[in-house]
Structure 1
Amino acid sequence: MLSLRGPAGLGKTELARLIARTSLDRFPDGVLSVDLDDFRLDGALDPGDVLAQLLGSLDVEPALLEAQFKARCRQYWNRTAQARLVLIVDNARYASEVVPLLPASGGSLVIVASHGPLHDLEDGTAIDFPLPPLAERAAAELLGLIVRDQRLAEDPEAVRALVRLCDGLPAALHVAGRWVRAHRLRPLSRLIPELQGELTDKGVSGVERVWDTAYGRLSVPAALLYRLLAHHPGTTFTVDSATALLGSGQESCEAALEELDRAGLLDLSPGDGRLRLPGPLRAHALRRSRSDAEEGEVSAARTRVLRWYVRQAQRADRFAAGRRLVVADTLAPVPGAPDVALADPEEATDDGDRAARAVRAARWLHEERHALVACARAAYDLGLDAEVVALSEPAWTYGLDHPHRSDAVQVFRLAVAAAVRHGRNAAWLVRTRCQLARPLWESGELGDAARELASAEAAVALLGDDVRDRKLRASVLEFRGMLNGARGEWAAAVADFARSRDVHLAIRNPYGAMLQTYRMGEARLKLGELDAARSLLEEAHAEAVTLRRERMMRRTGFALADVLARLGRTDEARELYEQSLEGARERRSDFDQARVHDALGRLEEAAGLGARAAEHRAAAHDIRRRNGLA
């Protein structure tokens, strides 16, 4: 392990990446990188969410992610036991944040970047490498690499003066180099004294002088964007979200970003589409905001980008999950902030395009998860209760695709608090408490889940009698049935699902009725009532096919196959299982492939086909091994 430490702006992150790039021949399994500041909420860090990202980078499917932290640690150890990789952990504050992330293999390299020493790392576990500011000679060499200008060789005295202004910080040298490059016709002997004279009386450090000079030469839109980026809800941003922050259209924002890049105040080179204002520059931008912002400038921008994020999340939610029950009004387009280019699956011309559009929308929710959590917190702090509740709806869709994630649960808790504080919208109270209850019982917190559902049921009495409110009543019954199932009380669950189905039938909601029929069939199966389960699941599967609800077609088909297998109808069960396996392979779903292989293994074993059963068991084991579960 290598520990790189020193003040912000010294280039620790870039040095870590350089070491990783030059070491790839010794570490053929590649490079993992995680910035712990991306996971902090009010300073607190959830290491389980960091492990979830690392496991995802190791191609572990979200559905196969262990729920409990200790189990997730074991999964990570299993997945890295034979690995030879480089792990970069950026912005660590304590050794306790780093220890759970260490790969199990002694053949891996870990590089930790921190501002200060990590005293509680065990002696001998890391090579501690404090990074001092660059010496004058090294700083001059770096400046020469940045600028590559003949004037540097012609006027070494001016170079020394410029280097001293930068205090040996590579981040400042990059800004200074671009500043010099922007004034190619002036000799350095005149340029540097002008800079020094302009800033002598400002009483700030040399680095601050360089940044202030670059900032002072920006156009009005670029200077405004620089100030506002310090208030972006996420630590990383995209051109789209920066446009929403600025609020003057995409062309204006793109021009401002390019100007910031030319000035050395931003790096547009990252290839993943996500940009970052480095820590020292973010702090500088915040100082400029405090001193230069016009009245209302920051609050207007924060509200604008927050509402833009809410609208984009609502669009992504609908595109990923389809039309479903929601309790928040859809926000209108934000002036000066175009929508993200997500395509509506309902406008697709074929099933493949429809599925691809849904996947892209779901991916957007995952990519922006940190910003969405930050938006929920900011909205709550600003008293924007409707926006907090609205964000809980896409968090639900994200949570279904990425179970056991504490970031989604944080949004659900904020949404409950916002609904309670608002106090005048019964639908919010019902919906948000139901959303919070599910991850609670999935984590084994059955008592807390029951209390949330009891509060939701109390709020049901305040609902009206329109279609949406009746759907909410049915939803509470469904959640109650699911909680009873988690308790093992399947007879009570059947009764709850049946009551929920009756409501959906009364309001002519075929999808809701089909879903409750499916849940009843699963509950009957748990009770051992095979004929009743078969009849219900056949009905649900046929309706899912009619409605073209692909996810429910998969779920109902697999459940029906389980019942048919237990009834001894082997050929029918095998056909459904093989359809499920083909679909899982097309979706590249390891979770579904593993469980179908398990089911086929049991089916073939019961049919006396031991060799085929062994093949399926081996395939399931191989999938789990790849995901760190075996």
Structure 2
Amino acid sequence: MLVTLSGPQGIGKTELARLLARVLRAEYGYPDGILSVDLDDFRLGSGADPGNVLTELLVSLTGEPGFVAQELKARCKQYWSKTNDARLIVIVDNARYASEVVPLLPASGDSIVIVTSHTPLRDLEDGAALGLALPPLEEWAATELLEVVVRDPRLAADPDSVRALVRLCEGHPAALHVAAGWVREHRLRPLSRLVARLRDDWTENGVPGVERFLDTMYESLSPTAALAYRLLPHHPSTTFTLDSATALLGMGPEACEEALEELDRAGLLDLSGVMISENGRMRLPGPLRTHALRRSRQDGRPDEAQAGLQRLLRWLVRQFQRADRFAAGPRLIVGNTYPAVDGAPDAFMEDPQEASNDTEKTERTDRASAWLYDERHVLFASLKMAHEREMDAEVVALSEPVWTYALDHPHQADVIGALRLAVDSAVRDGACAAWLVRTRCQLARHLWEAGLLDEAESHLDDAGAVIRLLGDDEQDRKVAASLVEFRGMLAGARDEWGTAADEFARSRHMHVEIPNPYGVMLQTYRLGQARSKLGELERARELLVEAHDMAVAQERERMSRRTGFALAGVLCRLGRPGEARPLYEESLSAAHRRRSGFDQARAHDALAELCQIEGRMAESAEHRTAAGDIRRLSGLDA
């Protein structure tokens, strides 16, 4: 029986292998004993010398170094003969390849071999071994281990610091043992101070015992893999994909694939879960990330990280712009359009406008929305990083996909912070009036949705102050009309729907004059909502039918659902629930495909009310439960 234990340095593979061997021998005999060999002790370059390893094992079996055969082939036969009828346990530590393990397998089928490796031995034949990948300890288990290793009343008295200490160790037993040593060594100091000092020390010097191994593996890398390792910790978010890693490296997909696979083989990256994880996301765990940063500072060229980051950020801007356009359709965009990046192919997304039929178009739109949702953490991190580097054009460009993401996922705290940075970048650049107007309008909407109406009005006033600086081209005229729309929306937020209707009508007239059919449709929709709020239901129905028909004719999937949802609400109020049901159901289906929990909950609420009107009480209760579940999963009250 062959068992392989794989996992990063410091996870406890060797200790587990030894424990398994002791338990197995105690319970099941194995009278011929336990043999143990560490292949790193015999490694020359990247490979372990099999002859020397066999010598070690044969000496353990015979007790006589002089009886070991001279030739490698003869040693293999001697080992095979000595283990033919044996019942023993063999521990092979720090294997890198299956070819290193195979010559060490005993001849007897009654023996057990336990192999440890930093990555799974994928070159073993399928079914040849029981492979166990050892993940980092879960937080509860890491806490328990810390309490076992060091018994100290400070742990119970300061659970927040214990939690911070455990998370700093990221589930690695070796790191937890080092942290426990610090706690035992400094009996009089508060845990909170120890956590801060330990974090600083590990950031600067690495985890003792783990650092030396990481240095050895790093120094064995090819130049390309070493460069990738030094660049990866600079990625804006803690996780990355093959596409974004390729952009960071800038040498094309094949070179990046080879580099990441080499890092995986060296135990400096774990690819074991990539194929089953959502979007194939990868990450450098904390100890590896800080080690890679140290090697970047020590070995990297002065401009190496900066050049890689600039290339990656511009690639990300392009991908987010593509996802925005594919998800929301062509619309007003004031940021610069970014071209393809050399050495970094675009992420796989297909343009819905090039689809051969409506079904395919909808699928492409939904995939772009899903990509934007999956990459949301990267989006916000990239915008912040670009702002820190005074890449103001990139910040403004990234604010547009933030806007699209926020339409499906409103009331996100990160959105206001990101849009504040966009305003700051537009002001810092100072050369583009359209940026100044657009970024303030985007921020204003999320401010009034958060209840900050006066601050929102202040930003719209500041935007209005630079309107005269806009030109007379189509884009600037759209920006001016958009400001009027936002003033109407703010009036609606203040429940001043008469004023809102006047502003929407004025904005619609401006779009007619441009002409901008999308803007006309949007303002017709806004005006229909305002008339509904004013109780003018028949007029609201007419406007929303018009807006919905325009959205469908323009093949605007998102606006078709938004106008349909608003129209359904008016139809219910007019006593026509049968006409409202298919519109609500279409909205629910589209919200589910876009992964918009907010819109899903809203659609379930609306269907619950409609079912109640129709006397379908059981179905109404199901929709209310579904809406409550979605809100609870989002951390909101049901």
Normalising to structure 2: TM-score of the pair?
0.66
Kindly tell me: are residues 169 and 582 of structure 1, through their superposed partners in 2, closer, same or farther at Cα, counting changes over 3 Å? same
Q: What's the counterpart of residue 574 of structure 1?
A: 578
223-232 vs 424-433, which moves further:
223-232
State the AA in 2 paired with 1:376. L
TM-superposed CA distance for 1:532, in Å, is 2.3
The structure-2 alpha-carbon separation of the partners of 1:240 and 1:203, relative to structure 1 and needing over 3 Å to count, comes to closer
Question: Matched residues, percent identical?
Answer: 52
Q: More deviation in 541-550 or 114-123?
A: 114-123
User: CA–CA distance in 2 between the matches of 1:232 and 1:289?
Assistant: 13
- Letter of the structure 2 residue corresponding to residue 575 of structure 1: E
Q: What's the counterpart of residue 521 of structure 2? A: 514
Map 1:449-528 to 2 at 5 A. 449-528=456-535
Equivalent-residue separation in structure 2 for 1:586 and 1:399 (angstroms): 16
Q: How far does the alpha carbon of each residue in 1:351-376 deviate from its partner, in whole angstroms, 9 at most, with x for none?
A: 22212212221222222222222221
- Shift in Å, 1:327: 0.4
Q: Deviations over 1:309-360 (max 9, x none)?
A: 1111111111111111000111111111111111111111222221221222
3-state SS in 2 of match to 1:230: helix
1:626 to 624, 629, 638: 629
Amino acid corresponding to residue 255 of structure 1 in structure 2: E
Matching of residue 233 in structure 1 with residue 236 in structure 2: yes
Gaps spanning 5+ residues in structure 2: where? 1-7, 16-134, 180-204, 593-598
The equivalent of 2:348 in structure 1 is 341
- Displacement of 1:436 in angstroms is 0.6
**What residue is the counterpart of 2:404 in the other structure?**
397
Q: Structure 1 residues 90 and 559 mapped into 2: Cα distance closer, same or farther (>3 Å)?
A: farther
Which range moved further: 354-363 or 502-511?
354-363
TM score, norm. by length of structure 1: 0.67
The 4+ residue runs of structure 1 with deviation greater than 6 A are 88-92, 109-131, 166-170
Matched with 1:251 is 254
2:548 and 2:564 in contact (8 A); partners too: yes
Alignment of 1:80-479 (within 5 A): 206-271=209-274, 272=277, 273-479=280-486
Contact 1:585 1:593 in 2 (8 A): no
Q: CA, structure 1 residues 169+361, in 2 after alignment: closer, same or farther (shift >3 Å)?
A: farther
Q: Alpha-carbon deviation of 1:268? A: 0.9
State how far apart, in whole Å, the 2-side matches of 1:553 and 1:292 are: 55
- Counterpart Cα distance in 1 of 2:303 and 2:492: 52
Q: Deviations over 1:557-586 (max 9, x none)?
A: 333343344344x3xx42232343255247
- Residues 280, 357 of structure 1: alpha-carbon distance in 2 compared, 3 angstrom cutoff: same
Letter in 2 for 1:362: S
Looking at structure 2, the residues matched to 90 and 293 of structure 1 have their Cα atoms a distance apart, in angstroms, of 33
Q: In 2 relative to 1, CA 618–529 (structure 1 residues): closer, same or farther, beyond 3 Å?
A: same
Question: Against the structure 1 CA distance between its residues 458 and 278, is the aligned structure 2 distance closer, same or farther, given a 3 Å change threshold?
Answer: same
Structure 2 partner of 1:594: 604
Deviations 1:421-456 (A, max 9, x none): 111110000110111111111111111111111111
| Residues 372/546 of structure 1: CA separation in 2 closer, same or farther (3 Å cut) | closer
Structure 1 contact 541–553 (Cα < 8 Å) conserved: yes
Letter in 1 for 2:249: L
Tell me the amino acid that sits aligned with residue 507 of structure 1: I
CA distance in 2, matches of 1:519, 1:89: 52
Amino acid at match of 2:257: E
Rounded Cα–Cα distance in structure 2 between residues aligned with 1:294 and 1:515: 51
Residues paired across the two proteins, number? 464
Larger Rg: 2
Shift of 1:302: 1.2
Q: Report how far residue 125 of structure 1 moved.
A: 11
The answer to whether the aligner puts 1:584 opposite 2:588 as a matched pair is: yes
Instruction: Provide the rounded CA distance (Å) in 2 between the counterparts of 1:318 and 1:113.
Output: 49
CA distance in 1, matches of 2:206, 2:372: 45
Structure 1's unaligned 5+ residue stretches are 1-7, 16-87, 93-108, 143-162, 171-201, 605-610
Whole-angstrom distance in 2 between the partners of 1:482 and 1:436 = 13
Q: 1:399 to 1:559 in 2, by over 3 A?
A: closer
8 Å CA contact 1:9, 1:279 repeated in 2: no
In 1, distance between residues paired with 2:522 and 2:443?
20
DSSP-derived class of the 2:235 partner: coil
